[in-house]
Amino acid sequence: MTKLERCKELLENWEQPDYRYRQILHAVFQQKISRFQDMSVLPAELRNRLIDTLGETVLTLRPAQESLSGQADKLLFALEDGEKIEAVRLHYRKGWESFCISSQCGCAFGCKFCATGGMGKRRDLTAWEIVEELLYFFLQGHPLQSVSFMGMGEPFANPNLFEALSLLTDPAIFGMSQRRITISTVGVLPGIQRLTREFPQINLAYSLHAPNAELRKRLMPVERRWPMEQILDALNAHIRRTHRRVFLAYTLLKNQNDTIAHARELGQLLRKNPKELPLYHVDLIPYNATEHAGELFEPPDQKRIREFYQALRKMGVSCAVRTQFGSDIDAACGQLYAKESS
């Protein structure tokens, strides 16, 4: 339980008026006040009781390690139970900032090229722990312009995810637009379907990484549970209902999934759905090498990346090569955790 959750419980136990908790939330999320002592709207006696019980600030997560780069800052947060999670702040030259946050400590899905997958799942984050990842940056004065659930864990495998989305979009908390939030999934079918129903304007990204089921099974065991054909059917339904673009993440692995033949196969797969094709966008991601993944993979060279991109474009598929941020600071999810734990 985070400090903000405990505040609510304590206020009830101390028989404080209901509006006291709303005053604390307003102080934190509207006035960016992190210290209880500075919440002048509260009686001095109540402020002192909160400090004695919870400490000086509202933050529960604490930075355990930080790695800085030209355009990516990565933090390893320590949780109250001793576990650790990662978050990344990406800052672009035009002044735009984006935050990549975690939904779980570790991950149970075991993708072969992912450092987090090699950890296994430790536990789900609570909804308020997810919120606190952003609150840390928010209280330092960073605007929350864009948030992606692309850090540690599979968002749709965490039953607390949808409560976290409700908090992020709550006008009394962050009040974020759904369109500023992106959920990345390896393909958890029930989660995709629920997002379509309950948060249709949130951006959806599917971690595909292979143009056919057999190759994907080798790279991503989740293919056996929720085959890509089922997921693409659900994504097509999402597009038809929401009229929103769907992103397909495709990590390019040298001599694994990066040939022109793979690109053409991927194009043919997407062209099976001509009505939905214009709202699919493929993000080509050169592999960020890590010694902590279960198998040894390498990124392809620039010539191979360019050829793959050009082959997709010739087939009428919207695509782009994603800019690599933070390779010098182990910014791929799970890398900082693994380095700190080794």
Catalogue the active-site residues. 86, 333
What would the two tokens of residue 139 be? 């209280």
Question: What is the spatial distance between Cα 45 and Cα 47, in angstroms, rounded to a whole number?
Answer: 5
* Strands (E) located in the chain: 62-68, 72-78, 84-91, 97-100, 104-106, 121-124, 147-149, 181-185, 203-207, 246-252, 280-286, 318-321
User: Residues 310, 311, 314, CA angle at the centre, nearest 5°?
Assistant: 85
Give the 3-state secondary structure of residue 98. Answer: strand
Q: Residue 197: which H helix or E strand, with range?
A: helix 189-198
- Chain-centre distance for alpha carbon 273: 28
Give the 3-state secondary structure of residue 133. Answer: helix
Question: What is the spatial distance between Cα 187 and Cα 85, in angstroms, rounded to a whole number?
Answer: 22
Question: What is the spatial distance between Cα 144 and Cα 107, in angstroms, rounded to a whole number?
Answer: 26
